[in-house]
A and B are shown apart, each in its own frame.
Chain A
Amino acid sequence: MTKTLKNALLGFVLAGLPGLAWAAPAATKKNDYAIDPAVGWDHLWNELLIDIMVIGVVFGIAAIYMLIKYRATSPDQVGSGPKFSNAQAWAWALIPAAIFMADDFFLSAKGWTLWNVYRRVPDNALEVKLMARQWQWEFDYGQGVVTNELTVPVGRPVVLRMTAEDVIHSFFMPGYRVKEDVMPGRVTYIWFLPNKPGKVVALCTEFCGTAHADMFTDVIAVPEAEFNAWLASKAKKADASPVPANRNS
């Protein structure tokens, strides 16, 4: 292999690295949740969709073209695929490898950046404790307020500190593009930003037995004032009765 070729290939591999170098400082930046993670998710998904569709279309068309074009015209015909010299063989291995690697590093960098948004809980987040059991979600707001539906204020980040009593469950809100497993013996967390009033569904996505498919509930986003009033009235009721009302639904 000639020296020029070696240098050219090295350049190709290195071309992918700046992507990662760009992500590393991003990892240390403080999360000011300028981005709603769900919006970031949709954005990244769209970029990725273009990436994989371009690859898919190029390879798909190439395959169809060759399958049609290179049909044998007589039974005695044999193929005449290229026989490579060493340098050509290396080039055909290293150049595609470098291109794939560059795309990998690029995607890693993008993914890492958004991941940091997903994992840094904003300081002003409302904290709710989530307990999962077969087959029920239980949300604890403190002050004795315990519910089976999640009510959240619009415009304020919400962090769920989650654990389970019996088996592994997974708390999934497709509307907020987030999920994380909930299991006995560990506390996991997710955060999300309710950005408009309304209801989305939350469901269990780790197989947990007979009624796994029935383990779903609502996440209701209401204006902040309404939320505060709701919480206060619930807290008042909880004061009156020492046992949380919803424990036995």
Chain B
Amino acid sequence: MGALLKEWVFTTDHKRVGILYLIGSIAAFLVAGLMAMLMRLEQSTVGLNIATSPDDYNVWLYFHGAAMILGFLIPGLTGFFANFLIPLQIGARDVAFPRLNSFSVWLFWAGIVVALLTFVIPDKPDVMWTGYPPYSVKTLGNTAFYVFTVHLIGFSSILASINFIVTIIYMRAPGMGWNQMNMFVWCTFGAFIIQLVFVPVLAAAVTMLLFDKYLGTNFFNPAQGGDVLLYQNLFWFYSHPAVYVIFLPAVGILFDVIAAMGKNRVFNYKAAVYGGVFGIVLITGEVWVHHLYVAGMPDWLRIGQMVTTLLISVPVGLLVISLWGSLYRAAITFNTAMMYAAACLFLLLVGGLTGIPLAMTVLTVNLSETAFVHAHFHFVMALFAAFAMFAGVYFWFPKMTGRLADGPLATITFWMNLIGVNITFWPLFIIGFRGMPRRYYDYAMFPEFQPYHQVATVGALITGTAMALMVINWIWAAAKGKKAENGNPWRAKSLEWTHADCPAGPGNFPGPDPKLDADWTPYNYAK
């Protein structure tokens, strides 16, 4: 046992590093998911229910947001999926800097531990995942733990970005041109560029917060010449791009799952890559003000960034056209992965289209900080990305474990998940539109919304049960599931399926290094 533990902790194998990311992010997901259940129960009736004080609710809310985004979505997608898949898909035997990779996952785990300490320390952080000053400076809660969590996970992200950008540029198999890469590799490449450019800004912002609170500086203190809006600008200059750090790899997973299960080429590949992925990379840094539409920014900035924010529909639209187009004249086989992928298309439509009113400055003056926003970003970021991740886990499960996770329990939990999340979040659109704010433990001013909250709570409990069963199913399947007969149960064409075993062993490819022809692509089913 000790030897096994040592082997895993000190591993430099990208697949094992990836699985360490997966375990950490699922742990964060389960604890943060539990917080979501507690919050929904708290809101099931007007008044204080299961919390002993509103501060309890605020701590749950802080942990739910911070852990889901920083501990689950980002590390799950750019930690687990990128690590596990990129070397396999580009035909490399490992990443460019394996020991740096190992260090990244240690930092991530340290970040998870610091985040989990929230529940142990007496002065629990309650600053929300956004940590806005002056509240985060004035609160008696422990803002330092928030800052250190961001530092550790952020540093881990920066190292991973460098590692994977170098890996993708220099370590592709001989013969693999830029236009022969998997969509997942392209999308993740875009995400890592975004991370490399923007994470340092977040690190700077939270460091200033730390200095203001503990060292007596006054960056955000207007009484001493500071400015409270500076933080919000820096924070969202990173954190809106962070949405695409989550969105892009999730889209990449969808492309690969849909193309493989539909045995079809990606529709207009180059438009999706150079228009879609790089369009997002290009625009992502010019739209953060839509998070500050009601923060008192100058009017010209609010209008200018309304236009840039709406223009995101162009690259996203190109990705959508390619995703939808890849279904056209496909030959689809539905497994659990493909069911999740199909559900993602629907989640993307709901979440994406409800983002359009929120891109418009003048509509946001009524909608911002309401349950409408809450429902919008859960659909487009949380649910869309999470469902894409589940699709990916089911799809590449044989590559990780040599076994399949499909089965009756997988199908049942899929439907429970899909139905549960819709029951949870549609009522929130309605009451949000009518004025229900987010981040409220109580809604004494809107007693008429109680039935909506109760429906949402029922949906959350269905989803929570399904998620727990799903994770149990994964653990069971990893040990006892049906064995994948060969290295390629889905008969896919990309390198991780055609050239590697199930599960993929050390060094990835049992034979000689993969060499590719000029007409090879990961999607050449029809030739």
Residues of A within 8 A of B (CB): 41, 44-45, 48, 51-52, 55-56, 59-60, 62-63, 66-67, 70-73, 75, 77-84, 89, 92-93, 96-97, 100-101, 103-105, 107-108, 110-112, 114-115, 118-119, 166-168, 170, 172, 174-175, 177-181, 183-186, 188, 190, 201, 203-214, 216
Contact = CB atoms under 8 A, between A and B. Distances in A.
B373 to A, nearest CB: 10
A82 B329 contact: yes
A63 B365 contact: no
Interface string B419-462: 00000000000000011011111111110000000000000000
Contact of B138 (A55, A62, A166): A166
Contacts of A72: 263, 331-333
Contacts of B342: 63, 67
Contact of A60 (B295, B306, B349): B349
Given A60-B349, A108-B306, A114-B362, A96 B526 contact: no
Given A111-B363, A174-B434, A206-B132, A81 B321 contact: no
Contacts of A214: 54, 442, 444
Given A48-B357, A56-B349, A75 B333 contact: yes
B330 interface: yes
Contacts of B222: 183-186
B296 A188 contact: yes
Contact of B299 (A55, A115, A207): A115
B200 interface: no
A81 B325 contact: yes
A207 B135 contact: yes
Interface in B111-134: 126, 128, 132, 134
A181 B294 contact: yes
A205 B135 contact: no
A71 B330 CA distance: 7
Nearest to A70: B330
A72 B53 CA distance: 56
B481 to A, nearest CB: 21
A115 B525 contact: no
Nearest to B139: A209
Interface stretch (B144-152, B265-273, B389-397): B265-273
Nearest to B55: A210
B365 A70 contact: no
Nearest to B279: A97
A214 to B, nearest CB: 7
A104 B310 contact: yes
A62 B321 CA distance: 11
19 contacts: A63-B346, A70-B331, A71-B333, A71-B334, A72-B331, A72-B333, A79-B330, A82-B267, A108-B306, A111-B361, A170-B369, A172-B437, A179-B365, A179-B368, A185-B222, A207-B58, A210-B55, A212-B54, A214-B444
Contacts of A186: 222, 228-229, 296
A108 B171 CA distance: 44
Contacts of B441: 213
B313 interface: yes
B134 A168 contact: yes
Nearest to B265: A81
A93 B275 contact: yes
Nearest to A112: B303
Interface in B301-325: 302-303, 306-307, 310-311, 313-314, 317-318, 320-321, 324-325
Given A108-B310, A205-B369, A180 B318 contact: no
Contact of A59 (B324, B361, B525): B324
Interface in B360-387: 360-363, 365-366, 368-370
A126 B336 CA distance: 61
Contacts of B162: none
Given A79-B265, A179-B366, 15 more contacts: A79-B330, A81-B267, A83-B265, A97-B318, A100-B313, A104-B313, A108-B306, A168-B135, A174-B434, A174-B435, A184-B223, A185-B222, A186-B296, A205-B368, A205-B438
B328 interface: yes
A175 B445 CA distance: 13
B207 interface: no
Interface string B340-351: 001001100110
Contacts of B325: 81, 92
B262 interface: yes
